[in-house]
Amino acid sequence: MNKIPKHVGIIMDGNGRWAEERSMQRWQGHLAGAENIEPILYHAMNLGIEVLTVYALSLDNIKKRFDDEKQHLFNIFNSKLDYAKKEFHDKNIKLRFIGNLSYLPSDIRHKAKQVAQMTNNNGRGTFVMAMAYNGQDEIKRAVSEALKLGSDDFTKYMDSYDFSPVDLIIRTGVENPIITRLSDFLLWQSAYAEIYSTSIYWPDFTVAEFDLALEYYFESDRKYGAILSRKDWGGF
C-alpha cells in the first residue's frame, strides 16, 4: 500500500497569469485561487494527510507588489478568515499561520489569532497558511530568538517548530516543469522533500491533479541520503 505523505506544501503560483489570459484583473485571479484551496484541503484531509501548508503570501510579495494589488489580497484574506472561523472549526480542522505577521494589517492579524485559537484543539488535520512568509526570514527570526535566550537549538523558535518535515512540495504555474524552484518556501523543513511541478495555474489545479502529484510521490525512491544497496552506489 502506498504511504500517504504526512506533510504536503503547495506553492500556489499562476493566479495573476490565469486572470490576465482571461482579460480579467489580477485580483480576480487571486480570488479564484483562494476559492480553489478548500476542495484540495478537504481532499487532502480525507486521504489522511496530517498537514497541508500553502504559500499564501510571501514577504517579498508584500515588499514588492503594488499597493492596490496588496489591498485586494488583504481584502480576500479578510473575507476568507471570517468564513474559516466557523467552517474549519465545524470540520474539526486546525488552522495555523506562519510568517512575519507584523507585516500584515492589524485586523488580519487579529482575525488570524482568533481563528488559530478557536481551532487549536481540532484533530482532523492541520491547515497552515504561510503569510508574509519567507523561509530565510523564519530561520533568521528563530536564530535571533535563540541567541537572545541563550539556546543552542534555534529550531524550537521557528514558526513551524512542531510540524513534521515536508514530504512533498507541489508547485503550480511553472512555465517549464523540468526547471523549478522553492522560492524561499519552507527551506529548513523541505530538506528531503520531493518536488512536483506542473504548468497548470493554481485556479485550475483540481483534485485529480493533486492525485497525480501523489502518484509521483509514491513512485519516488526516498533514501534520505543513505545508500540502500550496493547497486545504488554504482555496483562495486
Assess contact for 170 and 110: CB atoms under 8 A. no
Catalytic sites, residue numbers: 13, 61
Distance of alpha carbon 83 from alpha carbon 41, whole angstroms? 15
Distance of alpha carbon 167 from alpha carbon 53, whole angstroms? 11
First to last CA, the chain: 32
Helix axes 37-47, 207-219, angle to 10 degrees: 40
Assess contact for 88 and 115: CB atoms under 8 A. yes
| Cell (9 digits) for 121 | 484543539
